[in-house]
Amino acid sequence: MAAPEIDNSKYFVREIEKNDGCVLRMKQCYIGDVGCVVWDAAIVLAKYLETKTFYDPSTGVNMWCGRTVVELGAGTGVVGLMAATLGAHVIVTDLEDLQSLLNVNIQENQTLIQSGSISAKVLKWGEDVSELLPPPHYIIMADCIYYEQSIGPLVETLKQLSGPETSIICCYEQRTEGVNPEVENKFFELLQQNFIRETIPSDKQDPEFSSPDIHILHIRRKD
Ligand SMILES: C[S@@+](CC[C@H](N)C(=O)[O-])C[C@H]1O[C@@H](n2cnc3c(N)ncnc32)[C@H](O)[C@@H]1O
């Protein structure tokens, strides 16, 4: 079936260059909710996926090749797309409203995906995850710790979707104004009941795309 035609007047493009010189072209909407643009935490996380911890063409190391990945609150889908171009089998998830943008960006970047794969699904945090099981090797999420009401459901989704072998990689921007510190504290309080976390130091992140107020965590189940 032919791919649907894209109405380019609705979008403006952000380009993210990969280390191999290929460029991810991410369409962002002029009008829409928070998920319609690429957030800085998404760029930091996408570029982290290319660091030597995971991917080193000179030694043949590729932790993404053939691995299953679920992205939560994917927005434009840039982080999941990066993982798919590195060889992972990715499902990017977000609310119903973001599905057309996710599919547009998948279509736009399909030629960069060779051994990997990517598709989009609806997942509202706290709701049934059975379509996404068995637990993936990785759960990735960028800038998802920001909305007070969704913190409990988000941690619930992490519990339902992860298994003992799942690595959760969470990147978030630390915001000091308003309710943000409280929201972050609540997330970590709930998280520590079932998970352990490790902060990734800046020297293990991409040398260019990192920032003192953007943190990357590796999270695993306690059991
Ligand atoms: C700040 S945006 C980040 C988007 C993208 N990860 C990025 O960093 O560019 C937060 C994302 O979480 C999604 N989101 C918010 N509440 C959600 C919920 N209850 N269930 C699923 N997704 C949710 C939004 O639709 C949005 O795409």
Query: Looking at the domain covering 8-221, what would its CATH class be?
Result: alpha beta
pLDDT at site 29: 87
Using the atom order of ligand 1, give the atom closest to the CA of residue 41.
8
Question: Which is nearest to 94 in space by CA: 111, 80, 113?
Answer: 80
Distance between CA atoms of residues 196 and 187, nearest Å: 13
173 C-beta closer than 6 A to ligand 1: no
Is the confidence at residue 183, as pLDDT, over 60?
yes
Which one-letter amino acid corresponds to residue 43?
I
Task: For residue 74, report the distance from its CA to the centre of ligand 1, in Å.
Answer: 6
- 155 is written with which tokens? 């941690």
Residues 94-116 pLDDT 10s: 999 999 999 999 999 999 999 99
Q: What is the tens place of the pLDDT at every residue in 121-144?
A: 999 999 999 999 999 999 999 999
Contacts with 211 (C-beta within 8 Å, 6 or more apart), sequence order: 40, 44
Between CA 170 and CA 177 the distance in angstroms is: 21
205 three-class SS: coil
- Return the number of other C-beta atoms located less than 10 Å from residue 125's C-beta: 24
The dihedral built from the CA positions of residue 134, 118, 165 and 215, taken in this order, carries a sign that is: negative
Distance 217 CA to ligand 1 centre (A): 18
The per-residue pLDDT for 48 is 98
Query: Mean pLDDT, the chain, as a whole number?
Result: 95
Question: 195 near 222, Cβ under 8 Å?
Answer: yes
Query: In the predicted model, what is the mean pLDDT of residues 176-187?
Result: 91
pLDDT value of residue 2: 62
pLDDT in tens, 3-44: 667 778 888 999 999 999 999 999 998 888 888 889 999 999
Residue 191's pLDDT band, with cuts at 50, 70 and 90, is: very high
**What span, in angstroms and rounded, lies between the C-alpha atoms of 210 and 75?**
20
**Quick check: CB of 142 below 6 Å from ligand 1?**
yes
